[in-house]
């Protein structure tokens, strides 16, 4: 199962790009915040321990969406404004 989100986010007079993906090889959900082709921030969440539970794929999909949404909200709150200067 491959899950991913890509979104351009205009905020504070700048254009950010948020990319979230399920990296099954390492059992991680990875979210990057980019601006001008460089990574400003990376957030990784391991889900290796979830694989023993039933319906772990649904949990990964839900977490990926949540993680992506939280990063977009952080941009709007100005979390990366100084890094993008």
pLDDT of residue 5: 96
pLDDT of residue 45: 97
SS (H, E, C) 7-62: EEEEECCEEEEEEEEEECCCCEEEEEEEECCEEEEEEEEECHHHHHCCCHHHHHHH
Q: What pTM was estimated for this model as a whole?
A: 0.89
Write out the chain's pLDDT in tens, 85 residues. 568 999 999 999 999 999 999 999 999 999 999 999 999 999 999 999 998 878 898 999 999 999 999 999 999 999 887 775 5
pLDDT of residue 85: 54
Nearest to 72 by CA among 46, 33, 44, 38: 33
């Amino acid at each position: 199962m491959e899950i991913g989100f890509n979104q351009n986010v205009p905020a504070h007079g700048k254009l950010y790009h948020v990319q979230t993906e399920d990296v099954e090889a390492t059992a991680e959900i990875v979210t990057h915040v980019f601006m001008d082709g460089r990574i400003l921030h990376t957030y990784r969440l391991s889900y290796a321990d979830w694989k023993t539970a039933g319906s772990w794929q649904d949990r990964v999909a839900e977490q990926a969406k949540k993680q992506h949404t939280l990063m977009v909200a952080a941009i709007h709150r100005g979390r990366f404004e100084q890094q993008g200067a």
